[in-house]
Structure 1
Amino acid sequence: MQTDRELIQKYNVPGPRYTSYPTAVQFQEIDNPANVVHTLKKRNSEPRNVSLYFHVPFCFSLCWYCGCTKIITKNTDRGDVYIDYLVKEMDLVKEQFHPQSKVIQLHMGGGTPTFLKPDQLRRLGSEIKKRFTYHPEIEFSVEIDPRTCSKEHVGALAEIGVNRASLGVQDTNEEVQKAIHRIQPFEQTEQVTRWLREAWINSINFDLIYGLPKQTLETFQQTLRDVQTLHPDRLAVYSYAHLPNLMPSQKLLNEDEFPSPDEKLSMLMLAINTLENDGYRYIGMDHFSKEGDELTKALEEGTLQRNFQGYSTHANTDMYALGMSGISMVDSIYYQNTKDLDAYYTELDDGSLPVVKQMMLREDDRIRRDWISRLMCKPNVHFTDFEQRWGVDPKEYFANEWNRLDELEEDELIIVLDNQIQITTRGRLFLRNIAMVFDAYLSPDKQTQRYSKTV
């Protein structure tokens, strides 16, 4: 049997992250968002629980590793104008909702939502609540940059109902921070974490990255030790993806300072072993959560799902993304807002949704989406459940792909039984590779550097 290290070297190839299927690279340009509006109205003929995402694109400074859609500025007054236009977009989206629909999940991401001043956060929260009905069990999360978050920010977030927070940490070593142009003393992370808990925002996630310049196994081990002292409920430990042709800011990094592939692999193994020994469950796709956390429970109960924010505990909810570059997932349609801020403003001034790309899913897309989602989110994928929903036997429907499972089974990533596929503990490390088998848009000649590596 091959070791985990050998398997990672074997399977570490470019591939999608499957926050959606089909992936965003399949989206097509559109001239008129009228079809989107028609689809939304049809979808909302009955009340349903929905998820809202608000993209706040502004950051005070550029982190050189970052691949997010962002605008670098120190002018916080731009936040007022941006909220004005979010309000316009909210009004257009709300028109498509059934009056009895409720928001079960709300997330603010970026950029940096804490770029906004406390009063701006209060205003944004107020404008959202005026227009949408919150579910009594709403999960309201926000991404926080500890460098730009004051106690007043935390107070404002608590006032508008935030109950989950995700803090960008990346690495606690000063030399690594200098190399990526993100100076963040650990005391800042510690202080913001304390403020959040004092404000009863108790569900806290930290984002870390391994494979950054100047990182070593020893420095990354210290980063893990540092964050463990704060006992976050969840951790996302991402593999740094160096794609400078797609993300120009990454050209500012010194490639001579990157850890070797073997060192990077050692960091991943260290993170898995350290966190599992500390009581965290490896959910898959870089995510860890404490035993007893809702994410862990959702994995065990089979209610886990993935969307453009990663893993979610709320299954079968449409997600509406507002703000520039936001990607929405509504049943059989995906659509994306423009990434150009001026164009975003112009479309809303004209009374139109600022949609520039979409994808209407075919029946095959929907079947494969459900199958891939089950593989990514369930420890056991039962054939009978799938057949009852779609009226197809997965072994027959995916006959062309089925023989490719033999190698995955030989490597002990999955166990194929008569009525189910079991994802092994080892297999959770390779979920992207397992899903790639069933991706109709992915062939060997299409595995280009548009994707990050799978492990």
Structure 2
Amino acid sequence: MSKTTLIQKYNVPGPRYTSYPTVPYWDEDSINEDSWIQTIKHSFEESNSTKGISLYIHLPFCESLCTFCACHKHITKRHDVETPYIKSLLKEWELYLQHFDKKPLLRELHLGGGTPTFFETSNLENLIKSILSSVDLHQDFEFSFEGHPNNTTKKHLQTLYNLGFTRVSFGVQDYSEKVQKAINRIQPFENVKNVTEWARDIGYTSISHDLIFGLPFQTVGDIIDSIKKTMDLKPERISFYSYAHVPWIKGVGQRGFKDSDIPKGEEKRKLYEIGKHMLLNLGYIETGMDHFSLPSDALFNAFNSANLHRNFMGYTTNPTQLMIGLGMSAISDSWYSFAQNEKSVKAYQQQIENGKIPLIKGHLLTEEDLIIRRHILNIMCHFRTSWKSDKLKFKELPETINRLKELEKDGLVVIVDEELLVPKNARAFVRNICMAFDLRMVRNKPDTELFSMTI
């Protein structure tokens, strides 16, 4: 079957699998603040002394709205919001610390958003120093942050580097002026060049650029031009994402252009295939879904050693069992449960002032969930999984294998001796493969508007 035919067949709405179960299938009645605390205490006791913990801090403020963005954010030009928000973050962290019987061993810290570089360096320094004063550092710790090329300064980069940050990700998206105007992200190449070179000169060891295919008005020429410009700077990592067009979920933020302006189907896939071909020819290696890295980068080493992990921060080279998310809309993961914070700044801060962990919803994983989660993580991170071990078998495994038969016939999976392998030329269909394992979706067919297209 030709690739065009396969795309037409398998380009259906589906999850991105930053978790299993995916958020629409969380059983929100299964968890409350007490049960959430019990699971994080259990996970902390099991893993802190060896693996350590991860912290994700959501800094939601942006000065303007990028119309491609599906993140939870708060648009404002008022910078007097910074100090109160950081006070709330530190109060939330204290609410967690009181449940631990020893200092957390911090292995990974990531600042996401929103726009972390919206914040003044003095406020970021206060936040990080306060966190660091309450933890011990794992010997293999990694700190990273997301920087906006238009407002990341040398001072931002130097301040965070002095605090231990060695990895930074810059959102590029596309260099076409027409595309940038459509997504309200006017960002000259010169700005990206400046922040990339500053970071490298300061000593950052891993610099990542985010590129998106499938944006409104985007052409093959735009993809080629954007990747050529990216190669002039040779970042260690590149995230090459599909634009997720879900305006019915995210509201007016994704209505800055008409649906007809967006590449679809084979036209969209061509943008990816050409971009991927260029990246591979330039020496990058596909390391997990949508991600490419140079062989010298830690992401490749983690992929090569089967140590790559995926959670709500994306792919990580430092897997921990417990990840705590601080801030508005942040999602935490104890391995045994998920919990999401209030999605507005006002509601989040109100809960903190009331002395409560600001949960809005969550999910307590069942034994079956934990097994399916492991298979989906294996496929997402290693492009393979196995059910040779009894621990990875589950009641509906025969039905799952039967659902995989069509994918096997189309050459998208190879199943031999209780093991599944995703061939290199089928990695674009990883989400479809995971959907065959997704028992919650199989049992409760979703509203197609819950998800973006898989390809």
TM normalised by structure 2 equals 0.94
- Show the 5 A alignment for 1:30-429: 33-46=33-46, 47-48=48-49, 49-248=52-251, 249-384=253-388, 386-387=389-390, 390=391, 393=393, 397-429=396-428
d(CA) in 2 for partners of 1:262 and 1:40? 44
Task: Within 5 Å, give how 1:17-36 maps onto structure 2.
Answer: 17-29=16-28, 33-36=33-36
* Cα deviation code 1:312-342 (max 9, x no counterpart): 1223431110001011110211111000211
* Structure 1 CA distance for aligned equivalents of residues 144 and 23 of structure 2: 24
Alpha-carbon offset, residue 28 of structure 1: 4.8
In the aligned structure 2, how far is the partner of 1:107 from the partner of 1:261?
A: 34
In structure 2, C-alpha distance between the alignment counterparts of 1:177 and 1:88, rounded to whole Å: 38
| 1:12 to 2:11 alignment | yes
- Distance, in Å, in 2 between the alignment partners of 1:88 and 1:155 is 27
8 A contact 2:59–2:114 mirrored in 1? yes
CA apart distance, 1:172: 0.7
The alpha-carbon distance between structure 1 residues 176 and 339, as it changes in their structure 2 partners (threshold 3 A), is: same
- Range that drifts further, 23-32 or 323-332: 23-32
The Cα shift of 1:18 comes to 0.9
In structure 2, give the amino acid aligned to 1:371: H
The reply on whether 1:454 has 2:454 as its aligned counterpart is yes
Q: Secondary structure at the match of 1:303?
A: coil
Letter in 1 for 2:376: I
Tell me how far apart the structure 1 counterparts of residues 342 and 219 of structure 2 sit (CA, whole Å).
Answer: 39
Instruction: Report the Cα distance in structure 2 between the residues aligned to 1:91 and 1:110, rounded to whole angstroms.
Output: 21
Partners in 1 of 2:346 and 2:73 — Cα distance? 14
Residues 277-306 of structure 1, C-alpha deviation per residue, up to 9 Å, x if partnerless? 111112242111122322222222211111
Contact 1:122 1:159 (C-alpha < 8 Å) held by counterparts:
no
**Alpha-carbon deviation of 1:397?**
4.8
In structure 2, the residue corresponding to 1:219 is in which secondary structure?
helix
Query: What SS is found at the alignment partner of 2:399?
Result: helix
Describe the shift of the 1:151–1:316 C-alpha distance in structure 2 as closer, same or farther (beyond 3 A): closer
Q: Distance in 2 between matches of 1:314 and 1:423?
A: 24
How far apart in 2 are the matches of 1:26 and 1:161?
37
Structure 2 counterpart SS, 1:252: coil
1:98, 1:315 → 2: CA distance? Answer: 22
1:211, 1:5 → 2: CA distance?
A: 16
In structure 2, C-alpha distance between the alignment counterparts of 1:182 and 1:252, rounded to whole Å: 12
Q: Which amino acid aligns with 2:256?
A: L
Gap runs ≥5 in structure 2: none
Pick which of 248-257 and 173-182 moved more: 248-257
Counterpart code for 2:277 = N
Q: Is the 8 A contact 2:328 2:344 kept in 1?
A: yes
Q: Over aligned residue pairs, what C-alpha RMSD do you find?
A: 1.8
State the Cα distance separating 1:98 from its structure 2 match. Answer: 4.2
Q: Cα gap change, 1:151/1:281 in structure 2, threshold over 3 Å: closer, same or farther?
A: same
Hey, what's the Cα distance between the residues in 2 that align with 1:17 and 1:158? 31
Partners in 2 of 1:381 and 1:440 — Cα distance? 16
Question: What amino acid sits opposite 1:354 in the alignment?
Answer: P
Per-residue deviation, 1:173: 1.1
CA distance in 1 between counterparts of 2:286 and 2:216 reads 25
Structure-2 change in CA distance of 1:452 and 1:6 (3 Å): same
Task: Give the CA deviation at 1:5.
Answer: 3.2
What letter matches 2:67 in structure 1?
W
**5+ long unaligned stretches in structure 1:** none
**8 Å contact 1:85–1:348 — kept in the other structure?**
yes
Q: Is the 8 A contact 2:43 2:321 kept in 1?
A: no
Mapping for residues 422-437 of structure 1, pairs under 5 Å: 422-437=421-436
After TM superposition, the score normalised by the length of structure 1 is 0.94
The separation in 2 between residues aligned to 1:97 and 1:265, in whole angstroms, is: 48
Q: Which amino acid aligns with 1:351?
A: G
Equivalent-residue separation in structure 1 for 2:399 and 2:229 (angstroms): 48
Question: Does 54-63 or 201-210 show the bigger shift?
Answer: 201-210
Q: Secondary structure of 1:10's match?
A: helix
Q: 1:183 to 1:34 in 2, by over 3 A?
A: same
Shift in Å, 1:272: 1.2
1:252-288 C-alpha deviation (Å, 9 max, x unpaired): 2233432353321210111111111111112242111
Give, in whole Å, the separation in 1 of the partners of 2:18 and 2:240: 16
Give the Cα separation in 2 of the matches to 1:3 and 1:369: 31
